[in-house]
Amino acid sequence: MNKLTEVLEGISTVAIAGHVNPDGDCVGSCMGLYLYLKDNYPQIQADVYLEKPREVFHYIKDIDKVKSECEPGQIYDLVVLLDVSSRDRIGVAAPLFDHAVTTVGIDHHITNDGLCQINQILPHASSTCEVLYDLLEDEKITEACAESLYTGIVHDTGVFQYSNTSPHTMRVTANLMEKGIPFSNIVDGSFYQKSYAQNQILGRTLMESIMMLDGRCIVGIVRQKEMEFYGLTSKDLDGIVSQLRNTEGVEVALFLYERSFQEFKVSMRSNDDVDVSRIAGMFGGGGHVKAAGCTMQGSPFDVVNNITLQIEKQLTEEE
Ligand code: 5GP
Ligand code: MN
């Protein structure tokens, strides 16, 4: 697939869907495609299916049109999955995916197994928004659509900081900036700004973090009772793992939060030598070489021990 128009021929209904617990790239790409279709293909009925996006994305046009439930028996001509790397990661739109006439996947996860009929997966791209941009026609991108795509690139590159940022990423970003978007507000409002409670849990997690493997691995853990105390949900914990990764000498940052009794969501970030997508894959998850995740059962000690063993293996292979 060179351009999205190739798959839009003869299509009258499109469902756009992202992954569970949608992040900036997922929300940005889903809404970016939705706005693009609304603006340029008024004859197509397009709907976006996502779990309720975080409040920080309120500035994205039409974000209130997002559907968080699908009607039973509904069938779309085309289902487009954005930023979704595997079947079990499809959020609210899983039944629509199963019954769609045609399915298209647009993604940048190295662990994506090509779950759709047509797949555009570029593991070296910074973000799904970058992959999507290249499938669209620049002159048809409005300011509102550009705001949404820019959001995704900013979030998945950590504001152009991570090594997934390429000269091409910057060129795409420049083209989006040409549309006149309030880029500085987007970065501050959706990426950097934290609520007081979010800063408190960040501070507390850093303070109580543990160094392992001779200072090459740092571990942060948030228990359910702490989330209850601060009145937080999982969405409030974004960014903690990146802050852990910034610690001098650390190769891998590990962040766990307790989802339910003896069940932990694990986030991993690596600086250089360790491929965390391989480790996440071993435990039923996935992601990118330097950012990956999975869900694991057991006590936090079991989870940390199982993962650090794999990190240690990779670090020893390196030596
Ligand atoms: P995060 O740590 O921010 O939740 O996720 C980092 C990366 O790993 C994201 O690209 C995300 O899509 C991927 N990821 C996180 N958790 C899972 C998981 O349980 N399964 C899969 N396949 N990918 C995950
Ligand atoms: Mn992404």
Please indicate whether residue 89, judged by its CB atom, sits closer than 6 Å to ligand 1: yes
Q: What is the pLDDT of residue 74?
A: 93
**Which residue has a Cα nearest atom 11 of ligand 1?**
287
Please indicate whether residue 292, judged by its CB atom, sits closer than 6 Å to ligand 1: yes
DSSP tally for the chain: helices H, then strands E:
12, 11
Please indicate whether residue 85, judged by its CB atom, sits closer than 6 Å to ligand 1: yes
Percentage of the chain with pLDDT > 90?
96
Q: Which atom number of ligand 1 is nearest to the Cα of residue 25?
A: 10
Model confidence at 308, in pLDDT bands (50, 70, 90)? Answer: very high
Q: What is the pLDDT of residue 186?
A: 98
- For residues 32, 121, 273 and 302, what is the CA-based torsion angle, rounded to 10 degrees? 80
Q: What is the DSSP letter of 49?
A: E
Q: What is the pLDDT of residue 144?
A: 98
Please indicate whether residue 152, judged by its CB atom, sits closer than 6 Å to ligand 1: no
Model confidence at 255, in pLDDT bands (50, 70, 90)? Answer: very high
**What pTM does this model have?**
0.94
Model confidence at 273, in pLDDT bands (50, 70, 90)? Answer: confident
Q: Which amino acid type is present at position 15?
A: A
163-204: pLDDT as tens digits: 999 999 999 999 999 999 999 999 999 999 999 999 999 999
User: Is the model's pLDDT at 318 over the cut of 80?
Assistant: no
83-122: pLDDT as tens digits: 999 999 998 999 999 999 999 999 999 999 899 999 999 9
Please give the distance, rounded to the nearest whole angstrom, from the Cα atom of residue 38 to the centre of ligand 2: 23
**What's the rounded Cα separation, in Å, for the pair 224 and 232?**
9
**Which residue has a Cα nearest atom 14 of ligand 1?**
293
Please give the distance, rounded to the nearest whole angstrom, from the Cα atom of residue 127 to the centre of ligand 2: 5
107 forms beta bridges with 121
| Radius of gyration from C-alpha coordinates of the chain | 19
**Pair 265, 257: CB distance under 8 Å:** yes
**Pair 7, 104: CB distance under 8 Å:** yes
Please give the distance, rounded to the nearest whole angstrom, from the Cα atom of residue 142 to the centre of ligand 1: 30
Q: Read off the pLDDT of each residue in 78-86 and give the average, rounded to a whole number.
A: 98
Please give the distance, rounded to the nearest whole angstrom, from the Cα atom of residue 214 to the centre of ligand 2: 31
Q: What is the pLDDT of residue 130?
A: 99
User: Is the model's pLDDT at 72 over the cut of 90?
Assistant: no
Q: What is the DSSP letter of 53?
A: P
In the chain, beta strands by DSSP E: 13-17, 45-49, 78-82, 102-107, 118-121, 210-212, 217-222, 252-260, 263-270, 286-287, 291-297
Backbone angles phi, psi at 263, to 5 degrees: -130, 125
Q: Read off the pLDDT of each residue in 299-303 and give the average, rounded to a whole number.
A: 97
Q: What is the pLDDT of residue 29?
A: 99
- The ligand with the least distance to the CA atom of 280 is 1
Please indicate whether residue 295, judged by its CB atom, sits closer than 6 Å to ligand 1: yes
**Pair 65, 35: CB distance under 8 Å:** no
User: Is the model's pLDDT at 319 over the cut of 90?
Assistant: no
Per the prediction, the chain carries an average pLDDT of 97
**Which residue has a Cα nearest atom 9 of ligand 1?**
287
**What's the rounded Cα separation, in Å, for the pair 259 and 29?**
27
